[in-house]
Amino acid sequence: MAPGGGGDVEARVLAQTSKPLLGQEFIVINKAGANNMVAYTLVKNAKPDGHTLALGSDVAITLQPHLQKMPWNGPEDFTPIAQVGTLTNGLVVLPDSPLKTVKDMIEFARANPGKLSIATIGKEVPAHLSMEGLARRENLKFHSRSFSRVRSCTTALLGGHVMMVAAGFSGYNHLLKAKKVRLLAVQKDTRMEEYPDVPTLKESGYGNLVADVIHLIMGPKNMDKAVVSKLAGAFKKAMESPAFVKANTDIADA
């Protein structure tokens, strides 16, 4: 994860809260790049002794091997330890955007091929692929712009450089609360508790195009089951701690 991002904060607070539970200190090292490929390669090649772990998304191990050549075949090349959380992606527009519904977006894209501009974090990530799936399903053409962070996507939206953002909820929740942006739909299979009035893409009539991203902790392949159980138990307790709960709330509201 990149320094200062949500995953970095999660890792540092988790390292701190799990230290007294495991009796050892974790050193958080940021190895951002290539959609977690740098960090995951380091962990894949480490000794399976539980001393080298990764906190990142499931995208690089479940999705990317189907899209490009990777240093691993899939989840079977790692040891899953704990799920830290789930990142929900959604479609965001400006408050005064003429796109009031997903149907409006579809009709605009159909009437104006290539003019619907959408900002995403990188290419071939769930939020982007969900939109590509929608475009293929509805025979649409839109212009996709790739950025490295959600903040960059929303800056482009606020500046009028794109019409919509398809990205993680935590990166624009503060703008939603300030009513500086509007949530058009969520790319998941159920509505969000925080925004129960916002429909899913499926409810809008355009297929169950889910783009959830799972944050998880994993280690090298063939870790000892007793070590995995001990780590999983400690991380579970650490994630229930007030410090970690507060950190996650702060990330969502940032």
pLDDT interval class at 127 (50, 70, 90): confident
pLDDT interval class at 129 (50, 70, 90): confident
CATH ID of 6-85+216-253, from 2.50.20.10, 2.60.40.10, 3.40.190.150, 1.10.540.10: 3.40.190.150
Give CA–CA dist 30/222, Å, rounded: 24
pLDDT in tens, 27-84: 888 876 666 778 889 999 999 999 999 998 888 888 888 888 888 888 999 999 999 9
pLDDT over 90 at 113, yes or no: yes
The domain ranges of the chain are: 6-85+216-253, 89-186
User: At the topology level of CATH, where does 89-186 sit?
Assistant: D-Maltodextrin-Binding Protein; domain 2 (3.40.190)
59-66: long-range contacts at Cβ-Cβ below 8 A with a sequence spacing of 24 or more?
59/35, 59/125, 59/126, 59/213, 60/35, 60/36, 61/218, 63/124, 63/126, 63/129, 64/35, 64/37, 64/124
Q: Do 89-186 and 6-85+216-253 fall under one CATH topology?
A: yes
pLDDT in tens, 135-186: 998 999 999 898 878 889 999 999 999 999 998 887 888 899 899 999 999 9
pLDDT in tens, 227-253: 999 999 999 999 999 888 887 766 555
- Average pLDDT of 210-225? 91
